[in-house]
């Protein structure tokens, strides 16, 4: 028995675009999303009674076009529902937080469209209260319609820092400064290459204009090398490419070092039709290229599924390839000027695994012997990736530092520390019991 032809996990741009395309192909489709509203992180909708934060004109046009198409489709969304995994019989398990129970859904295909996560490199003091991701500050602004209060420092690498600074300024609280590891103004060749993508140039110029008008300092070729708590404020030590240092006394710090696919704990893509559904990934969880590419990739995944299920569906165009090239240009434009590995320069006392308070020095000592430990040995002997996040936030940095410490050894992967498992996240025991209570217990399982 099939409950729905295609189940889509995630109501961001990729998931919504895939759903609309599938409905046009005559395929039954349903979406599950952990939030009460659609849009994902990129198009995060405000809470009730709050006006949306204004974005660039092109971004707003994309969102309204997608949202209108989705509203007209009449596709059902299971809100406050968390994807748990696909069980051994091929059923999709969903934690329904409205009902407080786990539900089983039989689908012929599943599209995973769960977006991207921010990359944040460790720095001394990055675990302190008041230090968050810059993207987290941006999402908060989209939800509440307000800028974060107090003095805020934005630091790291990439164009998102400029976008967040501009949005903060428009909401009345420009950041104290932007600390950028690259220097896009000095990379003329890459900047010329960006002219092939006029939409990106228009958005970038709009953000830069806002930063300039509000006189927000943009410190390039610089980085935060230490954070300390001083009474009720944070003290951030910033060092530029010439070794000059400056201290910022702020209330909050937003860090950002790029984005990567949110693939932690996801089942592998599965295209062989057997007892399990066809599983495809779409959007930033397959390749982190931004909102435009996510919409195109959602349509690509929908077309592939439709062809498998009914022989219909559209063929993908070249839009994703073009946007991949645009991201490559941005990567060169914002490439950190200092090419030395930042992980190797961290002091031993720097926290690497925040859940278990394991430090860079702890890992160096584990890797100091003649036989380099495997990722699994580091996990069990050093407790890296053993905390409540199970490596969601530390496995990438731990594996990267292990590779840097042992350049002559085969480089470990984050999966060496985390393994491949589901559920993706803990499920309340009560939700499992409630699901069991919905079933009739077979006679041979009943007890006197």
pTM of the model: 0.90
Residue identified by tokens 């073009």 is: 322
Query: What are 38's two structure tokens?
Result: 């659609």
Residue range 4-117+261-328 forms a domain whose CATH class is alpha beta
Which residues, in sequence order, are bridge partners of residue 203?
none
On the question of a common fold for 4-117+261-328 and 120-257, the answer reads yes
Instruction: Return the number of other C-beta atoms located less than 10 Å from residue 112's C-beta.
Output: 25
Fold (CATH) for 120-257? FAD/NAD(P)-binding domain (3.50.50)
Residues of the chain with pLDDT under 70: 1-2, 272-275, 312-317, 419-427, 432-448
Residue ranges of domains in the chain: 4-117+261-328, 120-257, 351-418
Residues belonging to the chain: 448
Residue among 159, 140, 117 nearest 283 (CA) = 117
pLDDT at 68 (0 to 100): 96
User: Are the C-beta atoms of 169 and 214 separated by less than 8 Å?
Assistant: yes
Contacts of 145 (CB under 8 A, 6+ apart): 46, 50, 51, 52, 53, 171
Contact 236, 226 (CB under 8 A): yes
pLDDT, tens digit, for every residue of 269-284?
877 666 689 999 999 9
How many CB atoms lie under 10 A from the CB of residue 22?
Answer: 30
Name residue 311's beta-bridge partners: none
Secondary structure string (H, E, C) spanning the chain: CCCEEEEEECCCHHHHHHHHHHHHCCCCEEEECCCCCCCCCCCCCCCCCCCCCCCCHHHHHHHHHHHHHHHHHCCEEECCEEEEEECCCCCEEEEECCCCEEEEECEEEEEECCCEEECCCCCCCCCCCCEEEHHHHHHHHHHHCCCCCCCEEEEECCCHHHHHHHHHHHCCCCCCEEEECECHHHCHHHHHHHHHCHHHHHHHHHHHHHHHHCCCCEECCEEEEEEEEECCEEEEEEEECCCCEEEEEECEEEEECCEEECCCCCCCCECCCCCCCEEEECHHHCCCCCHHHHHHHHHHHHHHHHHHHHCCCCCCCCHHHHHHHHHHHHHHHCCECCCCCCCCCCCCCCEEECCCCEEHHHHHHHCCCCCCCCHHHHHHHHCCCCCCCCCCCCHHHHHHHHHHHCCCCCCCCHHHHHCCCCCCCCCCHHHHHHHHHCCCCCHHHCCC
pLDDT at 1: 54
């Amino acid at each position: 028995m099939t409950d729905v032809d295609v189940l889509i996990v995630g109501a961001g741009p990729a998931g919504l675009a895939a759903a609309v395309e599938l409905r046009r192909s005559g395929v039954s489709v349903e979406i599950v999303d952990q939030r009460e509203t659609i849009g994902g992180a990129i198009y995060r909708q405000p809470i009730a009674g709050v006006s949306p934060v204004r974005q660039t004109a092109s971004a707003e046009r994309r969102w309204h076009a997608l949202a209108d198409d989705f509203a007209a489709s009449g596709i059902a969304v299971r809100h406050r529902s968390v994807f748990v995994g696909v069980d051994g019989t091929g059923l999709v398990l969903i934690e329904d937080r409205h009902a407080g129970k786990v539900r089983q859904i039989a689908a012929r295909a599943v599209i995973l469209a769960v977006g991207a996560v921010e990359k944040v490199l460790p720095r001394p003091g990055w675990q302190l209260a008041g230090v968050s991701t810059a993207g987290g500050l941006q999402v908060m602004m989209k939800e509440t319609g307000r800028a974060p209060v107090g003095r805020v420092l934005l630091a790291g690498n990439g164009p998102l820092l400029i976008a967040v600074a501009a949005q903060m300024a428009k909401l009345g609280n420009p950041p104290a400064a932007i600390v950028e590891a690259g220097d896009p103004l000095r990379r003329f060749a890459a900047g010329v290459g960006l002219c092939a993508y006029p939409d990106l140039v228009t958005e970038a110029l709009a953000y830069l204009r806002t930063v300039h008008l509000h006189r927000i300092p943009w410190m390039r070729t610089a980085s935060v090398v230490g954070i300390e708590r001083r009474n009720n404020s944070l003290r951030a030590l910033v060092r530029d490419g010439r070794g000059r240092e400056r201290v910022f006394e702020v209330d909050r710090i937003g860090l950002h070092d790029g984005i990567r696919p949110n693939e932690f704990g996801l089942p592998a893509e599965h295209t062989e039709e057997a007892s399990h559904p066809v599983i495809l990934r779409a959007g930033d969880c397959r390749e982190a290229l931004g909102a435009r590419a996510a919409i195109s990739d959602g349509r690509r995944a929908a077309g592939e599924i439709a062809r498998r299920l009914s022989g219909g569906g559209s063929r993908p165009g070249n839009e994703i390839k073009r946007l991949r090239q645009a991201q490559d240009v941005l990567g060169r434009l914002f490439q950190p000027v200092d090419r030395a590995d930042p992980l190797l320069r961290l002091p031993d006392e720097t926290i690497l695994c925040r859940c278990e308070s394991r430090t860079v020095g702890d890992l160096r000592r584990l890797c100091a012997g003649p036989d380099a430990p495997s990722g699994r040995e580091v996990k069990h002997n050093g407790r890296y990736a053993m905390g409540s996040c199970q490596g969601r936030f530390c496995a990438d940095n731990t594996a990267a530092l292990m590779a840097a410490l042992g350049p002559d050894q085969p480089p470990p992967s984050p999966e060496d520390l985390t393994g491949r498992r589901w559920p993706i996240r803990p499920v309340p025991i009560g939700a499992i019991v409630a699901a069991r209570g919905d079933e009739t217990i077979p006679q041979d399982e009943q007890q006197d």
